[in-house]
Structure 1
Amino acid sequence: MSKRRERDRRRLTVVEGVREISHALAAGLVPSEVYICPEYCDEEGEQLIMKLETFAADQTAIFAVTPAVFAKIAYRGESGGLLMTIPYIALPLAQLALSANPFLVIVEGVEKPGNLGAILRTADAVGVDGVIICAGGTDLHNPNVIRASLGALFTVPIAEADTGEMIQWLHDQGIQIVAADPMATSYHMDAVLSGPVAVVLGSEAAGLTPQWLQAADISVKIPMFGVVDSLNLSVATAVMLYEVVRQRLNRTKL
Protein backbone atom coordinates (compact mmCIF):
# COMPACT_ATOMS: atom_id res chain seq x y z
CA MET A 1 0.00 0.00 0.00
CA SER A 2 3.03 2.28 0.13
CA LYS A 3 3.08 2.13 -3.70
CA ARG A 4 0.62 4.00 -5.92
CA ARG A 5 0.07 0.95 -8.12
CA GLU A 6 -1.19 -1.09 -5.17
CA ARG A 7 -3.41 1.75 -3.90
CA ASP A 8 -4.94 2.14 -7.36
CA ARG A 9 -5.49 -1.61 -7.69
CA ARG A 10 -7.37 -1.81 -4.40
CA ARG A 11 -8.96 1.66 -4.69
CA LEU A 12 -7.88 2.42 -1.13
CA THR A 13 -6.25 5.48 0.41
CA VAL A 14 -3.66 4.98 3.15
CA VAL A 15 -4.05 7.19 6.23
CA GLU A 16 -1.20 6.89 8.71
CA GLY A 17 -0.36 8.62 11.95
CA VAL A 18 -2.42 9.57 14.98
CA ARG A 19 -3.25 13.11 13.83
CA GLU A 20 -4.25 12.10 10.31
CA ILE A 21 -6.40 9.18 11.45
CA SER A 22 -8.10 11.40 14.03
CA HIS A 23 -8.97 13.92 11.29
CA ALA A 24 -10.39 11.19 9.07
CA LEU A 25 -12.56 9.75 11.83
CA ALA A 26 -13.77 13.23 12.81
CA ALA A 27 -14.88 13.72 9.19
CA GLY A 28 -17.03 10.61 9.48
CA LEU A 29 -14.93 8.32 7.28
CA VAL A 30 -15.17 4.61 7.98
CA PRO A 31 -11.90 2.67 7.70
CA SER A 32 -11.79 -0.50 5.65
CA GLU A 33 -8.75 -1.87 7.46
CA VAL A 34 -6.68 -0.84 10.47
CA TYR A 35 -3.09 -1.96 11.08
CA ILE A 36 -1.61 -1.55 14.55
CA CYS A 37 2.00 -2.01 15.62
CA PRO A 38 1.88 -1.94 19.45
CA GLU A 39 5.65 -1.47 19.72
CA TYR A 40 5.39 1.95 18.06
CA CYS A 41 2.27 3.25 19.83
CA ASP A 42 2.46 5.93 22.52
CA GLU A 43 -0.30 6.84 24.99
CA GLU A 44 -2.14 8.98 22.45
CA GLY A 45 -1.99 6.15 19.95
CA GLU A 46 -3.31 3.65 22.48
CA GLN A 47 -6.30 5.89 23.17
CA LEU A 48 -7.00 6.09 19.45
CA ILE A 49 -6.75 2.30 19.19
CA MET A 50 -9.52 1.98 21.77
CA LYS A 51 -11.67 4.28 19.65
CA LEU A 52 -10.87 2.37 16.48
CA GLU A 53 -11.74 -0.95 18.12
CA THR A 54 -15.25 0.30 18.87
CA PHE A 55 -15.69 2.38 15.71
CA ALA A 56 -17.64 0.66 12.97
CA ALA A 57 -16.28 -2.70 14.13
CA ASP A 58 -18.65 -4.58 11.83
CA GLN A 59 -17.24 -2.74 8.79
CA THR A 60 -13.56 -2.63 9.70
CA ALA A 61 -10.90 -5.34 9.81
CA ILE A 62 -8.27 -4.69 12.50
CA PHE A 63 -4.84 -6.33 12.40
CA ALA A 64 -2.00 -6.28 14.94
CA VAL A 65 1.32 -6.58 13.12
CA THR A 66 5.02 -6.77 13.94
CA PRO A 67 7.43 -3.87 13.34
CA ALA A 68 8.84 -5.73 10.32
CA VAL A 69 5.41 -6.07 8.71
CA PHE A 70 4.44 -2.50 9.59
CA ALA A 71 7.61 -1.19 7.92
CA LYS A 72 6.53 -2.83 4.66
CA ILE A 73 3.05 -1.32 4.58
CA ALA A 74 3.72 2.13 6.08
CA TYR A 75 4.70 5.04 3.86
CA ARG A 76 6.69 7.09 6.33
CA GLY A 77 8.42 4.95 8.91
CA GLU A 78 6.85 4.26 12.28
CA SER A 79 3.82 6.59 11.83
CA GLY A 80 2.96 6.24 15.50
CA GLY A 81 2.23 2.57 14.94
CA LEU A 82 -1.15 3.24 13.33
CA LEU A 83 -2.30 2.96 9.74
CA MET A 84 -5.73 2.59 8.20
CA THR A 85 -7.19 2.39 4.73
CA ILE A 86 -10.29 4.14 3.44
CA PRO A 87 -11.99 3.92 0.02
CA TYR A 88 -10.90 6.45 -2.61
CA ILE A 89 -12.74 9.69 -1.91
CA ALA A 90 -12.69 11.56 -5.24
CA LEU A 91 -16.16 12.12 -6.71
CA PRO A 92 -17.41 12.30 -10.29
CA LEU A 93 -18.34 15.83 -11.34
CA ALA A 94 -22.05 15.03 -11.32
CA GLN A 95 -21.91 14.32 -7.59
CA LEU A 96 -20.40 17.67 -6.58
CA ALA A 97 -23.00 19.59 -4.58
CA LEU A 98 -22.95 23.22 -5.68
CA SER A 99 -24.15 26.16 -3.60
CA ALA A 100 -26.42 28.90 -4.95
CA ASN A 101 -23.28 30.87 -5.84
CA PRO A 102 -20.73 28.20 -6.81
CA PHE A 103 -17.08 28.64 -5.90
CA LEU A 104 -14.61 26.09 -7.26
CA VAL A 105 -10.87 25.74 -7.63
CA ILE A 106 -9.41 23.62 -10.42
CA VAL A 107 -5.78 22.54 -10.53
CA GLU A 108 -4.13 21.05 -13.59
CA GLY A 109 -1.06 18.84 -13.42
CA VAL A 110 -0.03 19.58 -9.83
CA GLU A 111 3.49 18.23 -9.46
CA LYS A 112 4.14 18.09 -5.71
CA PRO A 113 2.12 16.39 -2.95
CA GLY A 114 2.96 19.24 -0.56
CA ASN A 115 1.47 21.79 -2.95
CA LEU A 116 -1.74 19.82 -3.38
CA GLY A 117 -2.09 19.37 0.37
CA ALA A 118 -1.56 23.09 0.98
CA ILE A 119 -4.12 23.94 -1.72
CA LEU A 120 -6.66 21.72 0.01
CA ARG A 121 -6.01 23.53 3.30
CA THR A 122 -6.66 26.88 1.64
CA ALA A 123 -9.73 25.52 -0.14
CA ASP A 124 -11.14 24.42 3.20
CA ALA A 125 -10.39 27.80 4.76
CA VAL A 126 -12.18 29.81 2.06
CA GLY A 127 -15.15 27.45 1.86
CA VAL A 128 -15.07 26.33 -1.76
CA ASP A 129 -17.76 24.00 -3.05
CA GLY A 130 -15.07 21.71 -4.34
CA VAL A 131 -11.55 21.14 -5.61
CA ILE A 132 -11.34 19.58 -9.06
CA ILE A 133 -8.15 17.89 -10.23
CA CYS A 134 -7.32 17.29 -13.88
CA ALA A 135 -4.44 16.19 -16.10
CA GLY A 136 -2.86 13.82 -13.63
CA GLY A 137 0.20 15.07 -11.81
CA THR A 138 0.71 14.04 -8.22
CA ASP A 139 -1.36 11.25 -6.72
CA LEU A 140 -4.29 12.67 -4.75
CA HIS A 141 -4.06 9.67 -2.44
CA ASN A 142 -0.35 10.03 -1.71
CA PRO A 143 0.04 9.97 2.09
CA ASN A 144 2.11 13.16 1.86
CA VAL A 145 -0.93 14.95 0.40
CA ILE A 146 -2.97 13.83 3.39
CA ARG A 147 -0.27 14.98 5.79
CA ALA A 148 0.19 18.39 4.14
CA SER A 149 -3.55 19.00 4.00
CA LEU A 150 -3.88 18.72 7.81
CA GLY A 151 -7.10 16.78 7.31
CA ALA A 152 -8.60 19.05 4.64
CA LEU A 153 -8.51 16.12 2.21
CA PHE A 154 -11.33 14.68 4.31
CA THR A 155 -13.42 17.85 4.57
CA VAL A 156 -13.29 19.43 1.10
CA PRO A 157 -15.32 17.81 -1.70
CA ILE A 158 -12.88 16.64 -4.38
CA ALA A 159 -13.51 15.52 -7.95
CA GLU A 160 -11.27 14.23 -10.71
CA ALA A 161 -12.11 14.57 -14.40
CA ASP A 162 -10.47 15.15 -17.76
CA THR A 163 -10.22 18.67 -19.09
CA GLY A 164 -12.79 18.43 -21.86
CA GLU A 165 -15.43 16.97 -19.56
CA MET A 166 -14.73 19.61 -16.96
CA ILE A 167 -14.99 22.56 -19.35
CA GLN A 168 -18.31 21.32 -20.72
CA TRP A 169 -19.65 20.76 -17.19
CA LEU A 170 -18.67 24.29 -16.12
CA HIS A 171 -20.40 25.77 -19.17
CA ASP A 172 -23.53 23.71 -18.45
CA GLN A 173 -23.55 25.00 -14.87
CA GLY A 174 -23.12 28.64 -15.93
CA ILE A 175 -19.88 29.00 -13.98
CA GLN A 176 -17.32 31.61 -15.08
CA ILE A 177 -13.90 30.12 -15.85
CA VAL A 178 -11.07 32.32 -14.56
CA ALA A 179 -7.63 31.20 -15.69
CA ALA A 180 -4.47 32.19 -13.85
CA ASP A 181 -1.96 33.11 -16.56
CA PRO A 182 1.25 35.12 -16.01
CA MET A 183 0.92 36.43 -19.59
CA ALA A 184 -2.57 37.87 -19.02
CA THR A 185 -3.14 41.61 -19.39
CA SER A 186 -5.56 41.96 -16.44
CA TYR A 187 -4.79 41.65 -12.74
CA HIS A 188 -6.77 39.21 -10.61
CA MET A 189 -8.17 41.98 -8.38
CA ASP A 190 -9.62 43.80 -11.41
CA ALA A 191 -11.79 40.86 -12.49
CA VAL A 192 -15.35 40.46 -11.18
CA LEU A 193 -15.19 37.28 -9.12
CA SER A 194 -18.22 37.62 -6.86
CA GLY A 195 -20.52 35.45 -8.99
CA PRO A 196 -20.34 31.74 -9.84
CA VAL A 197 -16.65 31.15 -10.46
CA ALA A 198 -14.08 28.45 -11.06
CA VAL A 199 -10.48 29.56 -10.53
CA VAL A 200 -8.14 27.45 -12.68
CA LEU A 201 -4.40 27.14 -12.08
CA GLY A 202 -1.73 25.07 -13.80
CA SER A 203 1.60 23.59 -12.80
CA GLU A 204 4.54 25.75 -11.79
CA ALA A 205 6.65 24.38 -14.63
CA ALA A 206 4.23 24.68 -17.54
CA GLY A 207 1.23 26.72 -16.41
CA LEU A 208 -2.16 26.00 -17.94
CA THR A 209 -2.55 24.11 -21.19
CA PRO A 210 -3.94 25.91 -24.26
CA GLN A 211 -7.22 24.04 -23.84
CA TRP A 212 -7.89 25.85 -20.57
CA LEU A 213 -6.62 29.21 -21.77
CA GLN A 214 -8.91 29.06 -24.80
CA ALA A 215 -11.91 27.97 -22.72
CA ALA A 216 -11.47 30.67 -20.07
CA ASP A 217 -13.97 33.50 -19.84
CA ILE A 218 -11.15 35.67 -18.53
CA SER A 219 -7.43 35.25 -17.86
CA VAL A 220 -5.76 37.13 -15.01
CA LYS A 221 -2.34 37.49 -13.47
CA ILE A 222 -1.07 38.23 -9.98
CA PRO A 223 1.08 41.39 -9.75
CA MET A 224 4.78 40.61 -9.29
CA PHE A 225 7.54 43.21 -8.99
CA GLY A 226 10.63 41.19 -8.14
CA VAL A 227 13.17 39.19 -10.10
CA VAL A 228 11.58 35.73 -9.91
CA ASP A 229 8.96 34.99 -12.53
CA SER A 230 6.53 32.77 -10.63
CA LEU A 231 4.99 32.04 -7.25
CA ASN A 232 4.70 28.69 -5.54
CA LEU A 233 1.45 27.12 -6.81
CA SER A 234 -0.12 26.87 -3.37
CA VAL A 235 0.70 30.54 -2.68
CA ALA A 236 -0.76 31.66 -6.02
CA THR A 237 -3.88 29.63 -5.31
CA ALA A 238 -4.30 31.28 -1.92
CA VAL A 239 -3.93 34.77 -3.44
CA MET A 240 -6.56 34.01 -6.09
CA LEU A 241 -9.06 32.35 -3.76
CA TYR A 242 -8.89 35.05 -1.11
CA GLU A 243 -9.59 37.68 -3.76
CA VAL A 244 -12.85 35.83 -4.47
CA VAL A 245 -13.60 35.85 -0.74
CA ARG A 246 -12.79 39.57 -0.47
CA GLN A 247 -15.13 40.47 -3.31
CA ARG A 248 -17.93 38.32 -1.96
CA LEU A 249 -17.61 39.81 1.51
CA ASN A 250 -17.69 43.32 0.07
CA ARG A 251 -20.79 42.50 -1.94
CA THR A 252 -22.65 41.31 1.15
CA LYS A 253 -21.95 44.67 2.84
CA LEU A 254 -23.69 46.66 0.11
Structure 2
Amino acid sequence: MQSTKHISSAQNPLIKKVLQLKDKSRERKKTGLFILEGLRELQIASKALYDIESILYCEDILENTQILQSFNYDQSISVSADVYKKLAYRDTTEGIIAIAKSKDHQLSSLAFDTENPLILIAEAPEKPGNIGALLRTADAANLDAVLIANPKTDLYNPNIIRSSVGCVFSRNVKMGTTTEIISYLKKEGIQVFCAALSASKDYTTVSFKGPTALVVGTEHSGLSNEWLQNSTQNIIIPMEGEIDSMNVSVSAAILIFEAKRQRKLN
Protein backbone atom coordinates (compact mmCIF):
# COMPACT_ATOMS: atom_id res chain seq x y z
CA MET A 1 0.00 0.00 0.00
CA GLN A 2 1.17 3.51 -0.72
CA SER A 3 0.36 7.00 0.51
CA THR A 4 0.17 10.10 -1.63
CA LYS A 5 0.18 13.77 -0.88
CA HIS A 6 -2.66 15.69 0.64
CA ILE A 7 -5.29 17.05 -1.81
CA SER A 8 -7.00 20.33 -1.03
CA SER A 9 -8.34 21.31 -4.46
CA ALA A 10 -11.59 20.07 -5.96
CA GLN A 11 -9.98 20.62 -9.37
CA ASN A 12 -7.53 17.77 -8.80
CA PRO A 13 -7.95 15.10 -11.54
CA LEU A 14 -8.49 12.33 -8.99
CA ILE A 15 -11.23 14.31 -7.25
CA LYS A 16 -12.92 14.90 -10.61
CA LYS A 17 -12.72 11.17 -11.28
CA VAL A 18 -14.38 10.36 -7.95
CA LEU A 19 -17.17 12.84 -8.65
CA GLN A 20 -17.82 11.24 -12.03
CA LEU A 21 -17.97 7.78 -10.47
CA LYS A 22 -20.35 9.12 -7.86
CA ASP A 23 -22.75 10.78 -10.31
CA LYS A 24 -22.57 8.86 -13.58
CA SER A 25 -23.63 5.26 -14.11
CA ARG A 26 -22.01 5.34 -17.54
CA GLU A 27 -18.64 6.16 -15.99
CA ARG A 28 -18.96 3.32 -13.50
CA LYS A 29 -19.76 0.84 -16.26
CA LYS A 30 -17.00 2.12 -18.54
CA THR A 31 -14.26 1.97 -15.93
CA GLY A 32 -15.46 -1.00 -13.89
CA LEU A 33 -15.02 1.17 -10.80
CA PHE A 34 -17.39 2.58 -8.21
CA ILE A 35 -17.19 4.54 -4.98
CA LEU A 36 -18.30 3.51 -1.54
CA GLU A 37 -18.57 5.71 1.48
CA GLY A 38 -18.39 4.79 5.14
CA LEU A 39 -16.29 2.58 7.36
CA ARG A 40 -18.82 -0.24 7.72
CA GLU A 41 -19.37 -0.40 3.95
CA LEU A 42 -15.61 -0.55 3.39
CA GLN A 43 -15.24 -3.31 5.97
CA ILE A 44 -17.98 -5.40 4.35
CA ALA A 45 -16.54 -4.88 0.85
CA SER A 46 -13.05 -5.84 2.05
CA LYS A 47 -14.39 -8.97 3.75
CA ALA A 48 -16.11 -9.87 0.46
CA LEU A 49 -12.71 -9.55 -1.28
CA TYR A 50 -13.47 -6.50 -3.37
CA ASP A 51 -10.33 -4.93 -4.81
CA ILE A 52 -9.85 -1.47 -3.30
CA GLU A 53 -7.99 0.86 -5.62
CA SER A 54 -7.81 3.98 -3.44
CA ILE A 55 -8.94 5.25 -0.08
CA LEU A 56 -9.60 8.95 0.42
CA TYR A 57 -9.94 10.15 3.96
CA CYS A 58 -10.36 13.40 5.85
CA GLU A 59 -8.30 13.63 9.01
CA ASP A 60 -10.66 16.30 10.37
CA ILE A 61 -13.48 13.72 10.37
CA LEU A 62 -11.92 10.25 10.58
CA GLU A 63 -11.29 9.77 14.29
CA ASN A 64 -8.76 6.96 13.97
CA THR A 65 -6.59 6.99 10.85
CA GLN A 66 -4.78 3.89 12.12
CA ILE A 67 -7.78 1.85 11.00
CA LEU A 68 -6.61 2.32 7.41
CA GLN A 69 -3.90 -0.23 8.12
CA SER A 70 -6.54 -2.97 8.38
CA PHE A 71 -7.41 -2.70 4.68
CA ASN A 72 -5.63 -3.73 1.50
CA TYR A 73 -5.50 -0.98 -1.11
CA ASP A 74 -3.20 0.55 -3.70
CA GLN A 75 -3.03 4.07 -2.31
CA SER A 76 -4.41 6.26 0.46
CA ILE A 77 -5.00 9.95 -0.01
CA SER A 78 -5.66 12.62 2.56
CA VAL A 79 -8.18 15.28 1.48
CA SER A 80 -9.26 18.56 3.02
CA ALA A 81 -12.62 18.97 4.73
CA ASP A 82 -13.91 21.15 1.87
CA VAL A 83 -12.95 18.55 -0.75
CA TYR A 84 -14.43 15.75 1.31
CA LYS A 85 -17.70 17.64 1.62
CA LYS A 86 -17.95 17.74 -2.18
CA LEU A 87 -17.28 14.02 -2.43
CA ALA A 88 -19.46 12.77 0.40
CA TYR A 89 -22.88 11.43 -0.47
CA ARG A 90 -24.22 11.19 3.06
CA ASP A 91 -24.90 13.92 5.57
CA THR A 92 -23.34 11.85 8.33
CA THR A 93 -20.16 10.01 7.49
CA GLU A 94 -16.97 8.75 9.06
CA GLY A 95 -14.64 10.65 6.77
CA ILE A 96 -13.68 7.77 4.49
CA ILE A 97 -14.43 7.06 0.81
CA ALA A 98 -12.98 4.30 -1.37
CA ILE A 99 -12.67 3.61 -5.07
CA ALA A 100 -13.23 -0.09 -5.71
CA LYS A 101 -13.45 -2.49 -8.63
CA SER A 102 -16.84 -3.98 -9.46
CA LYS A 103 -17.40 -7.74 -9.65
CA ASP A 104 -18.98 -10.03 -12.22
CA HIS A 105 -22.74 -10.14 -11.74
CA GLN A 106 -23.68 -12.10 -14.84
CA LEU A 107 -26.03 -15.03 -14.34
CA SER A 108 -23.54 -17.38 -15.99
CA SER A 109 -21.20 -16.99 -12.99
CA LEU A 110 -23.83 -18.07 -10.42
CA ALA A 111 -22.80 -20.96 -8.18
CA PHE A 112 -24.18 -22.31 -4.89
CA ASP A 113 -22.57 -23.88 -1.84
CA THR A 114 -25.70 -25.93 -1.20
CA GLU A 115 -27.96 -28.34 -3.08
CA ASN A 116 -31.05 -26.73 -1.53
CA PRO A 117 -30.75 -23.02 -2.29
CA LEU A 118 -33.15 -20.30 -1.23
CA ILE A 119 -33.16 -17.43 -3.73
CA LEU A 120 -34.84 -14.06 -3.94
CA ILE A 121 -35.67 -12.74 -7.41
CA ALA A 122 -36.78 -9.17 -8.03
CA GLU A 123 -38.08 -8.28 -11.47
CA ALA A 124 -37.26 -4.81 -12.81
CA PRO A 125 -36.84 -2.98 -9.51
CA GLU A 126 -36.15 0.71 -10.11
CA LYS A 127 -35.98 2.46 -6.76
CA PRO A 128 -32.50 2.20 -5.21
CA GLY A 129 -34.04 2.34 -1.74
CA ASN A 130 -36.15 -0.74 -2.43
CA ILE A 131 -33.19 -2.61 -3.89
CA GLY A 132 -31.10 -1.73 -0.87
CA ALA A 133 -33.83 -2.90 1.49
CA LEU A 134 -34.17 -6.19 -0.40
CA LEU A 135 -30.42 -6.75 -0.09
CA ARG A 136 -30.48 -6.02 3.64
CA THR A 137 -33.24 -8.58 4.08
CA ALA A 138 -31.34 -11.09 1.97
CA ASP A 139 -28.30 -10.57 4.16
CA ALA A 140 -30.31 -10.89 7.37
CA ALA A 141 -31.70 -14.22 6.12
CA ASN A 142 -28.34 -15.32 4.65
CA LEU A 143 -29.94 -16.15 1.30
CA ASP A 144 -27.95 -18.13 -1.21
CA ALA A 145 -28.47 -15.56 -3.98
CA VAL A 146 -30.37 -12.49 -5.06
CA LEU A 147 -31.22 -12.34 -8.77
CA ILE A 148 -32.33 -9.14 -10.45
CA ALA A 149 -34.34 -9.75 -13.61
CA ASN A 150 -34.42 -7.06 -16.28
CA PRO A 151 -32.41 -4.62 -14.12
CA LYS A 152 -33.30 -0.95 -14.45
CA THR A 153 -30.71 0.47 -12.05
CA ASP A 154 -26.93 0.27 -11.79
CA LEU A 155 -26.10 -2.06 -8.89
CA TYR A 156 -23.30 0.24 -7.74
CA ASN A 157 -25.49 3.31 -7.59
CA PRO A 158 -24.41 5.13 -4.38
CA ASN A 159 -28.05 5.12 -3.22
CA ILE A 160 -28.13 1.30 -3.38
CA ILE A 161 -24.84 1.00 -1.51
CA ARG A 162 -26.08 3.43 1.13
CA SER A 163 -29.56 1.92 1.57
CA SER A 164 -28.19 -1.63 1.64
CA VAL A 165 -25.64 -0.57 4.28
CA GLY A 166 -23.03 -2.47 2.30
CA CYS A 167 -25.08 -5.66 1.91
CA VAL A 168 -24.74 -5.27 -1.86
CA PHE A 169 -21.19 -6.53 -1.24
CA SER A 170 -22.03 -9.38 1.13
CA ARG A 171 -24.66 -11.09 -1.03
CA ASN A 172 -24.35 -13.27 -4.12
CA VAL A 173 -26.07 -10.89 -6.56
CA LYS A 174 -26.53 -11.78 -10.22
CA MET A 175 -28.45 -10.20 -13.09
CA GLY A 176 -30.11 -11.42 -16.25
CA THR A 177 -33.25 -11.19 -18.31
CA THR A 178 -36.42 -12.79 -17.08
CA THR A 179 -36.12 -15.39 -19.86
CA GLU A 180 -32.53 -16.22 -18.91
CA ILE A 181 -33.32 -16.58 -15.22
CA ILE A 182 -36.37 -18.76 -15.80
CA SER A 183 -34.31 -21.01 -18.07
CA TYR A 184 -31.64 -21.28 -15.38
CA LEU A 185 -34.16 -22.15 -12.67
CA LYS A 186 -35.72 -24.88 -14.81
CA LYS A 187 -32.33 -26.34 -15.62
CA GLU A 188 -31.38 -26.43 -11.93
CA GLY A 189 -34.73 -27.84 -10.80
CA ILE A 190 -35.56 -24.86 -8.59
CA GLN A 191 -39.24 -24.28 -7.77
CA VAL A 192 -40.61 -20.84 -8.64
CA PHE A 193 -43.05 -19.12 -6.28
CA CYS A 194 -44.38 -15.84 -7.61
CA ALA A 195 -45.96 -13.23 -5.37
CA ALA A 196 -49.12 -12.41 -7.31
CA LEU A 197 -52.82 -11.68 -6.80
CA SER A 198 -54.25 -14.19 -9.28
CA ALA A 199 -54.43 -17.99 -8.96
CA SER A 200 -52.59 -17.72 -5.67
CA LYS A 201 -52.39 -19.73 -2.46
CA ASP A 202 -51.81 -18.34 1.01
CA TYR A 203 -48.03 -18.28 1.41
CA THR A 204 -48.25 -20.17 4.73
CA THR A 205 -49.87 -23.18 3.02
CA VAL A 206 -47.06 -23.75 0.51
CA SER A 207 -43.86 -25.71 1.16
CA PHE A 208 -40.59 -23.87 0.58
CA LYS A 209 -38.43 -26.69 1.91
CA GLY A 210 -36.96 -27.70 -1.45
CA PRO A 211 -34.82 -25.59 -3.79
CA THR A 212 -36.84 -22.38 -3.92
CA ALA A 213 -36.96 -19.08 -5.76
CA LEU A 214 -39.24 -16.39 -4.32
CA VAL A 215 -40.14 -13.89 -7.03
CA VAL A 216 -41.39 -10.37 -6.40
CA GLY A 217 -42.27 -7.59 -8.81
CA THR A 218 -42.80 -3.87 -8.52
CA GLU A 219 -45.64 -2.47 -6.45
CA HIS A 220 -46.94 -0.57 -9.47
CA SER A 221 -47.14 -3.32 -12.09
CA GLY A 222 -46.35 -6.60 -10.33
CA LEU A 223 -44.74 -9.44 -12.23
CA SER A 224 -44.72 -9.91 -15.98
CA ASN A 225 -46.82 -12.62 -17.60
CA GLU A 226 -43.67 -14.57 -18.39
CA TRP A 227 -43.08 -15.16 -14.69
CA LEU A 228 -46.72 -15.99 -14.00
CA GLN A 229 -46.79 -18.51 -16.86
CA ASN A 230 -43.70 -20.27 -15.51
CA SER A 231 -44.61 -20.20 -11.84
CA THR A 232 -44.68 -23.46 -9.87
CA GLN A 233 -47.29 -21.78 -7.69
CA ASN A 234 -48.41 -18.20 -7.21
CA ILE A 235 -48.50 -17.13 -3.58
CA ILE A 236 -50.19 -14.29 -1.73
CA ILE A 237 -49.90 -12.59 1.63
CA PRO A 238 -53.51 -12.11 2.81
CA MET A 239 -54.41 -8.46 3.37
CA GLU A 240 -56.94 -7.39 6.00
CA GLY A 241 -57.06 -3.67 5.30
CA GLU A 242 -58.09 -1.46 2.40
CA ILE A 243 -55.04 -1.97 0.18
CA ASP A 244 -54.00 -5.08 -1.71
CA SER A 245 -50.21 -4.69 -1.66
CA MET A 246 -47.26 -3.77 0.54
CA ASN A 247 -43.83 -2.35 -0.10
CA VAL A 248 -41.88 -4.93 -2.09
CA SER A 249 -39.12 -5.22 0.52
CA VAL A 250 -41.68 -5.85 3.28
CA SER A 251 -43.46 -8.51 1.21
CA ALA A 252 -40.16 -10.19 0.36
CA ALA A 253 -39.12 -10.24 4.01
CA ILE A 254 -42.37 -11.96 5.06
CA LEU A 255 -41.97 -14.65 2.39
CA ILE A 256 -38.27 -15.18 3.03
CA PHE A 257 -38.61 -15.68 6.75
CA GLU A 258 -41.56 -18.02 6.32
CA ALA A 259 -39.33 -20.12 4.08
CA LYS A 260 -36.57 -19.97 6.69
CA ARG A 261 -39.05 -21.00 9.42
CA GLN A 262 -40.22 -24.00 7.41
CA ARG A 263 -36.70 -25.14 6.68
CA LYS A 264 -35.83 -25.15 10.37
CA LEU A 265 -38.60 -27.70 10.90
CA ASN A 266 -36.80 -30.34 8.79
Contact (CA 8 Å) 1:102, 1:129: kept in 2 or not?
yes
Q: Does 1:47 align with 2:66?
A: yes
Q: Give the CA deviation at 1:72.
A: 4.4
Change (3 A) 1:78 1:67: farther
Q: Give the CA deviation at 1:177.
A: 1.0
Alignment-derived partner of residue 125 in structure 2: 110
User: Which SS does the other structure have where 1:166 is aligned?
Assistant: helix
User: Which SS does the other structure have where 2:156 is aligned?
Assistant: coil
Show CA shifts across 1:4-33 (max 9, x none).
222122122211012221222233333122
Supply the RMSD in Å over aligned alpha carbons: 2.0
The 5 Å alignment of 1:205-244 reads: 205-244=220-259
Which of these residues, 193, 199, 202, is aligned with residue 178 of structure 1?
193
The list of structure 1 runs, each at least 4 consecutive aligned residues, that deviate by more than 4 angstroms after superposition, is none
Equivalents in 2 of 1:148, 1:118: separation in Å?
6
Q: Give the CA deviation at 1:68.
A: 4.6
Number of positions where the alignment pairs a residue of Structure 1 with one of Structure 2: 244
Contact (CA 8 Å) 2:55, 2:99: kept in 1 or not?
yes
Show CA shifts across 1:80-133 (max 9, x none).
331112222342223222211121110011122222112112112222210011
Q: Give the CA deviation at 1:36.
A: 2.2
Change (3 A) 1:78 1:102: closer
- Greater CA drift, 19-28 or 154-163: 19-28
Change (3 A) 1:123 1:90: farther
Q: Does 1:161 align with 2:180?
A: no
Which residue identity is paired with 2:63?
Answer: E
Contact (CA 8 Å) 1:122, 1:238: kept in 2 or not?
yes
TM-score in terms of structure 1 length: 0.87
Equivalents in 2 of 1:150, 1:74: separation in Å?
15
TM-score in terms of structure 2 length: 0.84
Which of these residues, 94, 99, 106, is aligned with residue 85 of structure 1?
99
Contact (CA 8 Å) 1:108, 1:137: kept in 2 or not?
no
Equivalents in 1 of 2:87, 2:29: separation in Å?
15
User: Which SS does the other structure have where 1:116 is aligned?
Assistant: helix
Alignment-derived partner of residue 34 in structure 1: 55
Equivalents in 2 of 1:209, 1:223: separation in Å?
21
Which of these residues, 27, 52, 56, is aligned with residue 72 of structure 2?
56
Structure with the bigger percentage of helix: 1
Show CA shifts across 1:197-235 (max 9, x none).
111101111111111111111111111010122101110
Aligned-residue identity in percent: 36
Which runs of 5 or more residues in structure 2 are unaligned?
A: 1-20
Contact (CA 8 Å) 1:32, 1:84: kept in 2 or not?
yes
